[in-house]
Amino acid sequence: REATAERILAAVGEVLARDGFVKLGVNAIARQAGVDKVLIYRYFGGLDELLRAWGDSGRFWPRVQELLGNDPQAFLAMPVEERFALFFERFIDALRARPLTIEIMAAEVAERNELTAILEAEREQWGEEAARTLAAREWATLPWLPGVTMLLVAGVQYLLVRSRKIRVFGGIDLHTDAGWEQLKASVREMSRRLLGSHTAS
């Protein structure tokens, strides 16, 4: 059962990336997974529940715990500016390692329905958890920090979606590790200047 459920979850991402949300359905997922559609209802309850399970599995979006790394306590003990920068470095790496996610994000721009809303809700919950974990005290005392964080999260997603069709954006090669390292260095410097001064005060 576990292996079959894993095949079904993997098939969700494959169908989404290939066909988008309009053609996502139990029959298409069952064909992709090579299983009887009855098993999808038996294991997951239906399409909405399956999509929620897929969104929560870490296949689509990196879990907060993944971004904290192997030693969450050591991560959380860092000064806030270091936590912030490292979190974004790992966020960039995690999304770059999920090409299916990038394809699905591109599809979301063109189509919005009850299925895309499920994944949107998953990401909103992720954002709340990330904020609590990453900088709960600073979130409450620095009113500009949530907006800056949102712009960075959105910017990373936009650049990754754009990189599907273009190579260079703003003079930075989005198809190379060096280009993304340049962007990470910019986030580190911004974190140091904005949050380091806050810590010092």
Provide the mean pLDDT of the chain: 90
Q: How confident is the model at residue 18 (pLDDT cuts 50, 70, 90)?
A: confident
Residues 6+ apart with CB under 8 A from 124: none
Burial 98-117 (b: 16+ CB within 10 A, else e): bebbbbbbbbbeeeeeebbe
- Asked if residues 199 and 79 have their Cβ atoms less than 8 Å apart, the reply is yes
Percent of the chain with pLDDT over 90: 62
CA angle 9, 47, 31 (to 5 degrees): 60
The single-letter DSSP state of residue 174 is T
Q: How confident is the model at residue 171 (pLDDT cuts 50, 70, 90)?
A: very high
What distance in Å separates the CA atoms of residue 83 and residue 76, rounded to the nearest whole number? Answer: 7
| Model pLDDT, residue 199 | 54
Closest CA to 88 of 27, 135, 137, 49: 135
36-94 pLDDT per residue, tens: 999 999 999 999 999 989 888 888 899 999 999 999 999 999 999 999 999 999 999 99
146-157 pLDDT per residue, tens: 999 999 999 999
| Model pLDDT, residue 47 | 93
Asked whether the CA dihedral 18, 19, 25, 26 is positive or negative, the reply is negative
- Asked if residues 172 and 182 have their Cβ atoms less than 8 Å apart, the reply is yes
Give mean pLDDT, residues 16-33.
90
99-123 pLDDT per residue, tens: 888 988 888 887 777 888 888 888 8
Give mean pLDDT, residues 180-200.
88
User: Using H for helix, E for strand and C for coil, what is the string for 108-168?
Assistant: HHHCCCHHHHHHHHHHHHHHHHHHHHHHHHHHHHCCCHHHHHHHHHHHHHHHHHHCCCCCE
Q: Is the pLDDT of residue 198 over 70?
A: no
Q: Is the pLDDT of residue 129 over 80?
A: yes
Give mean pLDDT, residues 153-175.
96
pTM: 0.84
- Asked if residues 22 and 104 have their Cβ atoms less than 8 Å apart, the reply is no
Residues 6+ apart with CB under 8 A from 29: 8, 11, 12, 15, 37, 40, 47, 50
Q: How confident is the model at residue 201 (pLDDT cuts 50, 70, 90)?
A: very low
Closest CA to 16 of 87, 113, 154, 133: 113
CB-based burial of residue 194 (10 Å sphere; 0-12 exposed, 13-18 middle, 19+ buried)?
middle
174-186 pLDDT per residue, tens: 999 999 999 999 9
- Residue where the block lists tokens 């198809």: 175
